Chains A and B, each alone.
Chain A
Amino acid sequence: MNGRARRGSAESRHLLSDFLRHELGLTGTHVGCEHGVCGACTVLINGEAVRSCLVFAVQCEGAEVTTVEGLAAEDGELHPLQEAFQAAHALQCGFCTPGFLMSLLPFLEERRDSGALTDDEIRDALGGNLCRCTGYQNIVEAVRLAHTKMSGGAGNSAGNSVGTSTGNSAGTCAAEGA
């Protein structure tokens, strides 16, 4: 569990989402619909994004599970993906955010060294997560920003390409967020 061995006991009928929240106290994973549609409960099981509301906790014995709590560093420094969401103002109430982050992490890691992402690619990657607040526009911006940060490192090169590839709106958001 987020790099540490964790033990707990689960009845067979306990969903992984409930086990995480109630047994392990990891309440970052949110539960919206419990039938696979909203994506709020998305976590990584052995590196792959899946719905924790559609997996039983008992099925995860011995598996590597990563939740949103596993993103930031020990000292609290945010993951570049989280920084991008903050900078681009990609959340309002935040209920959907953990699911978006966990869906996007493997997507962006696979594309670390690829060229600029197209809008279609980004929107396809977001298709499995619902957000009732943002209208998605700033989430698309955040993905682009995160891709730049994760590909080029957080240094100068990322700063430069953010200015050119995401245009003014992200720039303004970043200033507001800071």
Chain B
Amino acid sequence: MKPCSFEYVKAESLEHALAVLVEHGDEAKILAGGQSLVPAMNFRLAQPAVLVDLNGVGALSGIERVDGMVQVGAMTRQRSAERSSVLSAHVPLVTETMPFIAHAQIRNRGTFGGSIAHADPSAELPAISVALSATLQVTSSRGSRSIAASDFYVDLLTTALEADEILVRVDLPIAVPGSGFAFAEVSRRHGDYALVGVAASVQCDASGVCQQARVSLLSVGPGPVLSTSCAAALIGERPTTRTIADAAAATASDDIDPEGDIHASARFRRHLARVLVERTLTRAFARAAVSAGAAEQA
């Protein structure tokens, strides 16, 4: 099908885009990569009256290391994030995860911020942002604010963003010695949205005791789900095959409430969650040990 008519505004600057949002309120929508919005418009599931195109606002894209953060501009293409040497050196979880998002042709156009703002429960970047404790920088004509990723995802396709706000940047903490990460998902075909996906971010002290275990799951709820069982079972402990398996089993039974659909039953999704949490945690702790060892030698 074809989109309904709308007024197209090519934003010349962030200020220009913000002013258009103020003028049109709920009627206006931001156009980023268009890889979720345009399909929805083609199906007429979305019928915005005004589209504000951010593709000409160069200041909104770029990847930069600043102090303890890597700052990713909202309009940075997913493909650029995938190929960024700054991200692979300092936030390796992003690099590991990007190839799971759709196909290269979609990532060439789709943006880092667009995926986060869209908040699809099956999307990888929202889950990553929660596992990494990212901070989302948001601006409107009223001012700017920072939102912790874990407070950002409110419900299905719903975020803490107000209608006049634009997500401008995603700040990702850089990996410290003793930290380890892993991502895994199961999908019917590579490039499809995941049946279940898991992002794990852990940190251990020099003696190998777990200080942090953030495990975030996708496709098992209305948004990314942070496992409380993993944190409870692992922090303060030395991770073993046994504690990891227990944490994974508790996550699958207590932390998630997946729905069944034509692709997978709820029961199968729980099974996948348990297996994937176990695998990602095992990999993340192994990497944390290597990272701690390397730091000791240096």
Q: A residues engaging B (CB < 8 A)?
A: 11-13, 15, 18, 34-36, 39, 42, 48-51, 53-56, 58-59, 103, 107, 124-125, 127-128
Contacts and interface: CB of A to CB of B under 8 A. Distances in A.
B85 interface: no
B106 A35 contact: no
Nearest to B35: A54
A49 B3 contact: no
B114 to A, nearest CB: 12
26 contacts: A12-B7, A12-B51, A13-B4, A15-B2, A15-B38, A15-B42, A18-B2, A35-B42, A36-B39, A36-B102, A39-B105, A42-B105, A48-B79, A48-B109, A49-B104, A50-B108, A51-B109, A53-B38, A54-B38, A55-B34, A55-B109, A56-B8, A103-B105, A127-B191, A128-B104, A128-B106
Nearest to A46: B108
Interface residues of B, number: 29
Interface in B1-35: 1-8, 10, 34-35
Given A12-B5, A36-B35, A48-B79, 12 more contacts: A11-B5, A18-B2, A34-B1, A36-B106, A48-B108, A49-B104, A50-B108, A56-B34, A56-B38, A103-B104, A127-B103, A127-B191
Nearest to B8: A12
B142 interface: no
B109 A13 contact: no
B267 interface: no
Nearest to B33: A54
Contacts of A11: 5
Contacts of A54: 34-35, 38-39, 109
A28 to B, nearest CB: 17
B53 interface: yes
A12 to B, nearest CB: 4
A13 B2 contact: yes
B268 to A, nearest CB: 23
Contact of B42 (A53, A58, A127): A53
Nearest to A35: B39
Interface of B: 1-8, 10, 34-35, 38-39, 42-43, 51, 53, 55, 79, 102-106, 108-109, 189-191
Contacts of B105: 39, 42, 49-51, 103, 128
A54 B1 CA distance: 12
Nearest to B109: A50
Residue from A54, A56, A103 having most chain B Cβ neighbours under 10 A: A54
A164 to B, nearest CB: 29
A174 B42 CA distance: 41
Q: Which 5 A-B pairs have the closest CB atoms?
A: A128-B103, A12-B8, A35-B39, A54-B38, A48-B108
Contact of B108 (A49, A53, A59): A49
Nearest to B103: A128
Contacts of A53: 38, 42
* Most chain A beta-carbon contacts within 10 A, residue among B7, B103, B104, B191: B103
Contacts of B7: 12
A61 to B, nearest CB: 9
A106 to B, nearest CB: 9
B2 to A, nearest CB: 7
A95 B4 CA distance: 27
A55 B3 CA distance: 11
Contacts of B189: 127
A129 B257 CA distance: 33
A47 to B, nearest CB: 10
Contacts of B104: 49, 103, 107, 125, 128
Nearest to A102: B105
B53 A59 contact: yes
Contacts of A42: 105
Contacts of B108: 48-50
B191 A128 contact: yes
Contacts of B10: 58-59
A124 B7 CA distance: 38
A33 B189 CA distance: 18
B44 to A, nearest CB: 11
